[in-house]
Structure 1
Amino acid sequence: MATIKDVARLAGVSTSTVSHVLNKTRFVSPEITERVQQAIDQLHYTPSALARSLKVNQTRTLGMLVNSSANPFFAEVVQGVEQRCYELGYSLVLCNTGADSNRLGTSLDMLQQKRVDGIIVMCTRVNLTAGDLERHASLPLVMADWGPVDLDADLIQDSSQRGGRLATEHLLRLGHRRIGCITGPAGQRASEERLAGFEAALARAGLAVHRPWVVEGNFELAGGQAAMARLLALPDRPTAVFACNDMMAAGALRALADAGLHVPQDMSLVGYDNIELARYLVPRLTSIEQPKAGLGALAVDALLARIQNPHAPRRILPLEPSLVARESSAPLAI
């Protein structure tokens, strides 16, 4: 493998001149620059990223922790992060935690050993405290959609309670009054806030929450299918259901089809996240949009700002949800 000394020897210049050409740190005449570039091309020389990182104390590499990059929601956010990293000349190291706190800790150790410049954490299903991250206090962090209130890290919030309210208000406007909810796992912030939005919308409409119609899911396809099956087994069914993410809504559609029921004729359905799959389900799914690519880009920009100014006050950056109405929700048939 060619070295910078080989390039300098072939070009007939010093190694410092080659360095100036590569890093554009000093003016070098066009003639010498061309000779250096020809030598680089001839030798197929690639500068050592490790050597540069040791010199400038930056690797231009960011880390990201997610529950599972196979989940369509996380995959779309990761795509936004990768795109922004590419635009800014950064690399990304992605770690899947499997919603396991021990695995998250191991991943944090690995990222710190690799000298990443900062980390984006998007692990809504891992209930951690600032103490769990104490060993990594020197790493700039941005929490996307989750974060201990006592942690000195920027936080991007998805305004889940407002999103849950938007979904429920949409069904109310369509004339539904018997509305159920498939929640995420109890104890998770996103799940509890979306349920709180659901309850707030019903209360504002003067309606009580019918507890048998509130069924816990797990944010996965199978959980949504099982939760909808439990609702359908009730002698007194809702006419509409808000599922707290699109994966559970897709599973709920499967349960409804298995029962010989049609959406929205027999039951209206609203999901949350507006993943790309929502546009391809049958019927196309009404959902609450989270700007996933925007979330990814915002997370990168916030992290780089934190790296540049590590002592700046903590920022909370909200993301506003919106309703995307499609064919899975319709006015109540009288």
Structure 2
Amino acid sequence: MATMKDIAKLAGVSSSTVSHVINQSRYVSEEITERVNRAAQELNYTPSALARSLKMNRTKTFGMLVTTSTNPFYGEVVKGVERSCYQQGYNLILCNTEGDHQRMQDSINTLLQKRVDGMILMCSSMEGERIDIFEKYPDIPVVVMDWGPILFTSDKIQDNSLSGGYMAAKHLIDCGHRDIGCITGPLNRYQAMMRYEGFKRALNEAGLPFNPKWIVESNFECDGGYDAFNRIYASGELPTAIFACNDMMAMGVMNAANEKGLSVPNDFSLMGYDDIHIAQFMSPALTTIHQPKYRLGQAAVDTLLKRLAGETREVDVVQFEPMLVERKTVATLKK
């Protein structure tokens, strides 16, 4: 493998001049720059990323931890992170925690050993965990996505789930619904609780009662929505509308309803949350609350870069506002 010394010998210049040309660290005349680049091309020279990272004390690599889920929401956020990394000249190492505390700790240790420049955590099943190891690496910025209160120093990217839950229930109320059920996510997770709190706020403002048989806690997965609808169905009369607190559970609801010969929105209306890509292709297309997934990922990368550049000193919280997307699963009732 060719070295800078080989290039210098072929080009008839010093090794330091070759270094300045390749690293663009100092002005070198066009004539000498052309000679060096031509020599490097003839020798098939490839700069060592490892050597450069040691010299610059930067690896141009970010690490990201995610929890395994069938929910494509996570994949769409990761896509935003990966594309932003690429545009900024960074690599991304993706680790899967599978919801396991020890695996999360091991993955963090591995990323730190690989000397990543920053880390993104998107594994809300670990919400409330204290990760002491970050205190030993104060120069490595950390961004947390989709978590509640944080027990370690970190910037934070999140959507306004309280507003989104309120918006979902308010839309159903505005469409004339008075008997409304809710399939929540795990209520020990901050974002799930906030969506439910927003839902309750809208019903309280409208003076509508809560039927406990129509409020079911579930798991943010398709099977959770499927099982939750079956519990509501078995309890007796159906509500006229159900707010499933993410699109995956809404898909499970539609599947369970179809098995019972029920259709949406003819027999009951259905609202989702997240606006995953496939929501628009469901039959009927799902009315839902949109989260800007690509922008969430992009904001995580931008926040790390700003922290590395020393542009921010205080802990930063970036919050995105959700948006209602009306499609075909909510019927308007006569008032």
Shorter-chain TM-score tier: over 0.9
The answer to whether the 8 Å contact 2:148/2:191 transfers is no
The equivalent residue for 1:188 is 189
CA distance in structure 2 between the aligned counterparts of 1:225 and 1:274, rounded to whole angstroms: 19
- Relative to structure 1, is the Cα distance of residues 150 and 112 closer, same or farther in structure 2, using a 3 angstrom cutoff? same
The equivalent residue for 1:105 is 105
The answer to whether the 8 Å contact 2:142/2:155 transfers is yes
Q: How does 1:91-130 map to 2 (within 5 A)?
A: 91-130=91-130
CA distance in structure 2 between the aligned counterparts of 1:245 and 1:111, rounded to whole angstroms: 31
Q: How does 1:58-73 map to 2 (within 5 A)?
A: 58-68=58-68, 71-73=71-73
SS in 2 for 1:272: coil
Give the CA deviation at 1:258: 1.0
Give TM-score, length-normalised by structure 2. Answer: 0.95
- Relative to structure 1, is the Cα distance of residues 74 and 330 closer, same or farther in structure 2, using a 3 angstrom cutoff? same
Computed over aligned residues only, the root mean square deviation of the Cα atoms, in angstroms, reads: 1.8
Give the CA deviation at 1:69: 7.0
CA distance in structure 2 between the aligned counterparts of 1:241 and 1:320, rounded to whole angstroms: 22
SS in 2 for 1:125: helix
Query: Which stretches in structure 1 are left out of the alignment for 5+ residues?
Result: none
CA distance in structure 2 between the aligned counterparts of 1:33 and 1:296, rounded to whole angstroms: 39
SS in 2 for 1:238: coil
CA distance in structure 2 between the aligned counterparts of 1:55 and 1:134, rounded to whole angstroms: 24
Give TM-score, length-normalised by structure 1. Answer: 0.95
Deviations 1:58-111 (A, max 9, x none): 111111111137631011111111111111111111111112221111111011
Q: Which letter maps to 1:329?
A: V
Q: How does 1:1-334 map to 2 (within 5 A)?
A: 1-68=1-68, 71-134=71-134, 136-138=136-138, 139-309=140-310, 312-332=313-333
- Relative to structure 1, is the Cα distance of residues 70 and 10 closer, same or farther in structure 2, using a 3 angstrom cutoff? farther
Q: Which letter maps to 1:319?
A: F
Deviations 1:295-315 (A, max 9, x none): 111111111111222871112
Percentage of matched positions with identical amino acids: 51
The answer to whether the 8 Å contact 2:70/2:221 transfers is no
Q: Which letter maps to 2:48?
A: S
The answer to whether the 8 Å contact 1:269/1:328 transfers is yes
Give the CA deviation at 1:44: 2.2
Deviations 1:123-168 (A, max 9, x none): 1121233454545542211111215444321112211111001010
The answer to whether the 8 Å contact 1:129/1:148 transfers is no
CA distance in structure 2 between the aligned counterparts of 1:115 and 1:265, rounded to whole angstroms: 56
The answer to whether the 8 Å contact 1:69/1:78 transfers is no
- Relative to structure 1, is the Cα distance of residues 123 and 22 closer, same or farther in structure 2, using a 3 angstrom cutoff? same
